[in-house]
Amino acid sequence: MDLLKSLFKGDKVIWGVFLMLCMISVIEVFSAASTLTYKSGDYWAPISGHLLYMMLGAGVVLIVHKMPCKLFRLIPVLALPTAAVLLSITMLFGEKVNGAGRWLAIGGINFQPSELGKLAVISSTALILAMMQEEKGANPRAFKYIMWITGVTCLLIAPENFSTAGMLFGVTVLMMFIGRVPFKQLGKMLGSIALIAGLSGAALFATPNEVLDDIPGLHRAVTWKNRLAGFGGNGEVAPEDYDINKNAQVAHANIAIATSHLIGKMPGNSVERDFLSQAFSDFIYAIIIEELGLLGGAFVVFLYIVLLLRTGRIAGQCDKKYLSLMVMGLALLLVSQAMLNMMVAVGLFPVTGQPLPLISKGGTSTLINSAYIGIILSVSRYVEKKKEEELAISQNNDEDRGNENQSLEPVAIVLN
């Protein structure tokens, strides 16, 4: 018991959520990786690699959560320039997977620089907001600095991974709102973005696909266009007229959810995993609902909500603005990505290619997300330590007052 306490320090609820998500991941990835099993001819190959990354991720959490919080101030200094260089290289020489060049091969290991870019932007935003806080809110210059960092990073990510760039930008806006950036600045920015988005969307649908393919940096514009058009739909379609092959991923995800019922088919009994090409990644939530039912799907949502609320509690109790803002940003990033993935799976958002954090099969994304959890746990350790110190000081003060009262008792007796 003492060994476990020494290993698993920090907020116990966060630990519980992390371990529960890992358990669900191992079970559901093992079940959903039937296509990989068929291709490899090895029943254990898909899950053995995932288990290795999950164990490495747990090791990352154990290491990072023991780190002193003062070291986290180095993250933006180191991560921001490194991410900028790697993202620039990826734009030029990135390996294409499913039509998107999001990967770099480093030492034989595929790596997504956008994962490092997310950490760099979140930590940099937190540092700027913490350093530029004034009595009435954040200094207006903080908005400009954050926009430069976020804008450049998102522009480097967007050509190959537009959904990640948009999600990262949205989380940064939420962080600025929490960090008391003047609402006037945020309002003007959001209004401008809404106008640009509307005009860009109209231009996208008005431009022929042949022309879009020839525009530098917009080679994935046709994919974005098709996904938006597919999400919009063409009204109700009779069952006999529905083309299930036209949008196979969405169709089979819908079938998986529709056939799940309350308790599902139980792990290992999914049918649609054999038809969903990304059943173990982008659409794993549909498989979770198919096998664990609506109750299982709701439980996964509950875990992410608990993660966000518990991190918010930790951030509220932390007396260091940078740490408070950073862990809040990391929690928002994890939960936003989870909600985006689940909304895609249930048909509430266009297909984006976002994995379900800490559940989907992944490599570097699993390790980076584990590092996020480790940072949150490290800050929770700092908060607990501060509480213990304050409690000890309070008890010492009470003892000192008690000793003073005892020393005054003889004087009081003489005076009486």
Measured CA to CA, the distance from residue 177 to residue 380 in angstroms comes to 23
Measured CA to CA, the distance from residue 83 to residue 78 in angstroms comes to 9
Q: Which segment of 33-37, 294-298, 339-343, 373-377 scores lowest on mean pLDDT?
A: 33-37
Residues in the chain: 416
Hey, what are 105's tokens?
């091969």
pLDDT band at 335 (very low <50, low <70, confident <90, very high): very high
Average pLDDT of the chain to the nearest whole number:
85
Residue 169's closest CA among 138, 227, 125, 137?
A: 125
Q: Does residue 11 contact residue 377 with C-beta atoms inside 8 Å? A: yes
Crossing angle of helices 221-232 and 183-206, rounded to 10°: 90
**Cα→Cα distances 107→95, 97, 110, 111, Å:** 14, 18, 8, 10
Q: Does residue 73 contact residue 123 with C-beta atoms inside 8 Å? A: no
3-state helix, strand, coil in the chain (%, to 5): 75, 5, 25
Q: Which segment of 153-157, 306-310, 366-370, 399-403 scores lowest on mean pLDDT?
A: 399-403
pLDDT band at 276 (very low <50, low <70, confident <90, very high): confident
pLDDT higher than 60, residue 411: no
Hey, what are 350's tokens?
């266009």
pLDDT band at 363 (very low <50, low <70, confident <90, very high): confident
**Quick check: helix, strand or coil at residue 348?**
coil
Measured CA to CA, the distance from residue 76 to residue 9 in angstroms comes to 25
Query: Could you give the percent of the chain with pLDDT greater than 70?
Result: 82
| pLDDT at 1 (0 to 100) | 58
Q: Which residues of 65-89 are buried (b: 16+ CB within 10 A; e: fewer)?
A: beeebeebbebbeebbeebbebbee
**Cα→Cα distances 358→57, 170, 203, 324, 366, Å:** 9, 21, 37, 22, 6
- Residue 408 Ramachandran class (φ > 0 left, ψ -120 to 50 alpha, else beta): alpha
Hey, what are 167's tokens?
């999600």
pLDDT, greater one: 161 or 219: 161
| CA 199, 151, 160, 28 torsion-angle sign | negative
| CA 260, 265, 267, 272 torsion-angle sign | negative
The one-letter amino acid at 175: M
100 strand-pairing partners: 97
| Mean pLDDT of the 408-415 span | 52
Q: Could you write out the DSSP letters of every residue in 281-334?
A: TTTHHHHHHHHHHHHHHHHHHHHHHHHHHHHHHHHHH-S-HHHHHHHHHHHHHH
Kindly report, residue by residue over 57-95, the tens digit of the pLDDT.
999 999 999 999 999 999 999 999 999 998 888 877 766
Question: Rounded to two decimals, what is the model's pTM?
Answer: 0.88
